[in-house]
Chains A and B, each alone.
Chain A
Amino acid sequence: MAGILIYSDKENLALELLTAARIIGQELNLEVKAVTINNDALATALAGAGADVYGVNNDNVIPADVGAVASTLEQAAAKLDTKIVLLASDRRGKELAGRLAQNMGAGCLTDVTDIHINDDRIKCQRNALGGATVATQYITTDKQVIAVRPRTFAAAAGGEGKISLFNIEARPTKIKLLEVKTRSSEVVDIEETEVLVVVGQGLNSEGNLAEVEKLAKALGGEVACSKPVATDKKWLAEERIIGLSGKKCKPELAIILGISGQVQFTVGIRDAKVIVSVNTDENAPINRMADYILPADLHEVIEEMNKALG
């Protein structure tokens, strides 16, 4: 039976893909198969969630060599008769998607935020025009590569799968891994938080962050930010960025302080239940997507709120 193949090097994302693949597989009558590369722990985790796992062990294939990973998956897709491949749309998966699609002669969609089956087509949603619009698109080619945004589907759990070893051809890699630096992650997950206090370039200085954090704490929430606050000013970690190149959050309450509201930002917060905007500019575009607008200096507002709530 023809199938659908899933691959991510990360356990949580691979388990999410398993859920997605099962939904598609059920509708289109496709068998779900998973590939892992040099990762027995991941193979075990996937099998523990009921997946039919094909474990590749080949020292020539390293994650840093996207060409080698793509070639591995291309060979697996051919041998396992899986014309559809689901990848995660994290950075590794997204970089891989184009190359794998090219190798397979497949059409490809990345950053997919929702999938449903209609007329036997896999209809995908993704942001377009920098986030200003949401497009519904589908691939018409026989072979398809689809990269799905993290957290689009719940992780699969439970079940009894099996692991088979699987051989592929690979030449020694030409990419030399000189050094790996893990980011000292503060283990904050702004996607899981009910209340977000989000700061932008309207914030005067890094020193003001303490008050922002105090407010977030008083509300039982976390601090998040627009991209430049993390990437240009480096005041906060990149894992706190909201938007097109950051996270998509759906909190109960988002208090947005000193952010102009470019679409690349708003796409990450537009699903919040209640949005408050504090901005000195009454006409800031962010105010058009706020439920409550307080035209004021954010520093004063934070101070007053801390007093009132503290």
Chain B
Amino acid sequence: MNIVVAMKQIPDLHQIRMRDRQPVLDDVPLTLGNIDKNALEAAVHLRDTHGGKVIALSAGSEELEDTIKEALAAGADEAFMILDDSLDNADSSVIAAVLAATIRKINDVDIILFGEGSGDNYSGQVGSRVAGILGLPQVGYASSMEVQGNSAIVTRSLEDGEEILEVELPVVIAVMADINEPRIPSVSQILKAGRKPQEVLELDDLAIEILEEPVVTESNLAPETPRKQVVVKSVDELIAVLRTEGVIGR
């Protein structure tokens, strides 16, 4: 069974600082999206149960060759990368076109896994778009999954309940963060990661049509939330200030 896991290279969100409400992204290290790591863990688990291969797939800037090692260390057997500096901030439609075209080049793909949203934009479009391009059935917000014969049994978790679905392979599945706890690779796994097969493609290798800047970002600023930040010393003092504010004891 071949499982492709689509992973996004993003800036480490914990290390982004704001200057004049603008995010400062220079020198922020790159990493893979958090929920993408859950998707990878789910793939590794399926492979360990059913055999086959886990292929990490990612489109991004040149630094990806380094970033992708996180996935190879955490259990992926090989990686496919599409490298182009324009891909780091590209629209979901562009990334979906690139990923779908690459998946078509990989033989016998049974399951294509995504995280429910990327760590940075959390827009959740790419998985659905890839399913649309490839004409495959999809299940999002998966909180558990298993494979039985030629089908996947997937639980989709919704706000008001769950639905358990049986879907014939191949299928696109987007997992939720709580589906599992991603492993932390050991030192020897990290050392071995660099020797695993890596296929690098460029945009020219893929015959794709893409929308011309379908979404324009006018501004992207930290919201202004001026807060008093008054330190109080006791519960009594706290209750007193909250009474003065008129938010308790009304």
Contact = CB atoms under 8 A, between A and B. Distances in A.
Contacts of A126: 123
B222 interface: yes
B233 to A, nearest CB: 8
B219 A239 contact: no
A105 interface: yes
B163 A110 contact: no
A177 B163 contact: yes
Interface in A209-265: 219, 231-232, 239, 244-245, 252-253, 262-263
Contacts of A275: 227
Given A64-B163, A291-B228, A304-B235, A138 B216 contact: yes
B152 to A, nearest CB: 10
B138 interface: yes
A308 B235 contact: yes
Interface stretch (B45-53, B190-198, B242-250): B242-250
B229 A293 contact: yes
Interface residues of B, number: 81
A133 interface: yes
Given A107-B93, A123-B218, A291-B228, A180 B162 contact: yes
Given A107-B93, A132-B18, A137 B218 contact: yes
A132 to B, nearest CB: 6
Nearest to A184: B161
B138 to A, nearest CB: 5
A181 B216 contact: no
Interface string B218-247: 111111010111111111101101100101
Of B166, B220, B228, B230, most buried by chain A (CB within 10 Å of CB) is B220
B220 A103 contact: no
Contact of A195 (B117, B212, B247): B247
Contacts of B202: none
Contacts of B212: 140
Interface stretch (B61-69, B105-113, B125-133): B125-133
A101 B93 contact: yes
Given A91-B140, A128-B121, A239 B132 contact: no
Contacts of B120: 128-130
A125 to B, nearest CB: 10
B165 interface: yes
Interface residues of A, number: 81
Nearest to A194: B247
B125 A110 contact: yes
A140 B153 CA distance: 39
Interface in B142-195: 153, 156-168, 174, 177-178
Interface in A130-174: 130, 132-141, 174
A255 B117 CA distance: 29
Given A67-B132, A102-B128, A291 B119 contact: no
A107 B215 contact: yes
A18 interface: no
Contacts of A90: 158-159
Contact of A138 (B11, B117, B218, B220): B218
A308 B220 contact: no
Nearest to A269: B225
Contact of B158 (A91, A276, A291, A301): A91
Interface of A: 64-67, 70, 90-92, 94-99, 101-103, 105-111, 123, 126-130, 132-141, 174-183, 185, 195, 219, 231-232, 239, 244-245, 252-253, 262-263, 270, 273-276, 287-295, 301, 304-305, 308-309
Interface of B: 11, 13-14, 16, 18, 23, 91-93, 96, 116-117, 119-129, 131-133, 135-141, 153, 156-168, 174, 177-178, 211-223, 225, 227-236, 238-239, 241-242, 245, 247-248
23 contacts: A67-B135, A67-B138, A95-B128, A98-B92, A99-B131, A102-B96, A105-B211, A108-B215, A137-B216, A137-B218, A140-B214, A140-B215, A141-B211, A174-B137, A175-B165, A176-B166, A183-B160, A183-B162, A262-B14, A288-B229, A291-B230, A305-B235, A309-B248
